[in-house]
Amino acid sequence: MPDQTPPDPTPSPTSLLQAPPLGIAPILVVSDAAAASAFYQRAFNAEELARIAAPGGKRFLHIRLRAFGSTFVIMDELAEMNGLGSLFRAPTSLRGTSVTLHLQVADGNAVWQQALNAGARSIIPLERQFWGELYGRLSDPFGHEWTIAQFLQHLSDAQVEGAANSVFQAK
C-alpha cells in the first residue's frame, strides 16, 4: 500500500517560500554568483539559505546568505535579460561601487585575516581609529567593498570631534 502521509507543508531550510527577516537586506550583483557565494562562505562564514537558478541553470537570480546575524542576497549580472535582470549591474561592469557594506564584529583581526585569506584585497589597512574602533576597508573579488570594525572604546562626541580635528588638520 502506498504511503498515505500528506506532504509536509513546511518549506525546506533553503526554500524561498520562507519569509525573509524584516530589515534591510542588500542585493549584491556580481559577475559569478556561485563563486561569490563560496567566497562569502569562506570569508565571513556566511550560510547559504536559498538558491534560485536563472533560465539555463548556469547563473543565479537569487542566492540568499546570512552572516553576522544579517541576511543579504547575491545575484548574477543578467544584462541580456529583458525586465528586472537587465537593470542590475555588477561593480566590475560599472568600474566601481558607491556602496560599502559595514561589518561590526567582535574580533576584527580574525575577520579581517579570514577575508584576506579568502581572496579579499585591503584598501585601508585595519588599524585603531580616532573614533575608538579597529577599522579597515577591503574589496572582495567581485568589486564590492566592505568595512570591518571592532568596537574598542567609548568616546564622547566631543572627544571624537576633537580627535577628528587633530587628524584632519595634520594632513
Render pLDDT for 100-155 as a digit per residue (tens, 0 to 9): 999 999 999 999 999 999 999 999 999 999 999 999 999 999 999 999 999 999 98
pLDDT digits (tens, 9 = 90+) for 33-69: 999 999 999 999 999 999 999 888 899 999 999 999 9
Q: What is the mean pLDDT of the segment spanning 5-26?
A: 58
Alpha-helical runs (H) found in the chain = 33-44, 91-94, 108-118, 157-169
Given the candidates 3.40.1190.20, 3.60.140.10, 3.10.180.10, 3.40.640.10, the CATH classification of the domain at 98-171 is 3.10.180.10
Contacts of 20 (CB under 8 A, 6+ apart): 64, 71
Contact 85, 54 (CB under 8 A): yes
Q: What is the CATH number of domain 1-96?
A: 3.30.720.120
The whole-model pTM stands at 0.80
User: Could you tell me the residue ranges of all domains in the chain?
Assistant: 1-96, 98-171
Q: What angle do CA 116, 119, 123 make, to 5 degrees?
A: 60
Query: How far apart, in Å, do the first and last CA atoms of the chain sit?
Result: 82
Q: Which whole-number Å values give the CA distances from 49 to 1, 23, 31, 64, 122, in the listed order? A: 36, 16, 20, 5, 28
- What is the distance between the alpha carbons of residues 26 and 101, in angstroms, rounded to a whole number? 9
